[in-house]
């Protein structure tokens, strides 16, 4: 993959609307950004609040994403098997390729 030919957008949806909320302050976001930047990618961080599924699908459409990649939350083995409602709904409702990482990091 050519890092200079790939637009990478890291998108976080907050559950509640907060003017002080900043995705850049989240550990998961900073770890992901660090990993991508170390691999040579430029990362754009975007955020919103509200309906996560709708917002993720709308954002993917607005940027014409080739792939939606979701990180699952830490869950029990049973919970991982069921993915969770946001991940499951994105997978079922998207016409784009969806990657799901359910590892405990």
pLDDT tens for 75-89 read: 666 655 555 688 889
The answer to whether residues 49 and 18 touch, using CB atoms and an 8 Å cutoff, is yes
Supply the pLDDT for residue 4.
78
Supply the pLDDT for residue 48.
94
The answer to whether residues 15 and 22 touch, using CB atoms and an 8 Å cutoff, is no
Query: Which of these, 55, 68, 59, lies nearest to 95 by C-alpha position?
Result: 68
The residue written with tokens 């499951």 in the block is: 88
Supply the pLDDT for residue 40.
93
Residue ranges for the chain with pLDDT beneath 70: 1, 18, 72-84, 104-105
How far is residue 40's CA from residue 18's CA, in Å, rounded to a whole number? 32
Give all strands (DSSP E) within the chain, no chain letters.
Answer: 8-14, 43-49, 67-71, 97-101
How far is residue 62's CA from residue 2's CA, in Å, rounded to a whole number? 22
């Amino acid at each position: 993959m050519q890092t200079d030919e790939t637009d990478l957008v890291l998108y976080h949806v907050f559950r509640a609307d907060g003017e002080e909320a900043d995705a850049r302050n989240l550990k998961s976001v900073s770890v992901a950004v660090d990993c991508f930047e170390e691999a040579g990618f430029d990362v754009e961080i975007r955020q919103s609040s509200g309906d996560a599924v709708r917002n993720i699908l709308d954002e993917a459409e607005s940027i014409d994403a080739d792939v939606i990649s979701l990180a699952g939350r830490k869950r029990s083995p049973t919970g991982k098997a069921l993915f969770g409602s946001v991940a499951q709904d994105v997978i079922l409702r998207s016409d784009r390729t969806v990657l799901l990482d359910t590892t405990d990091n």
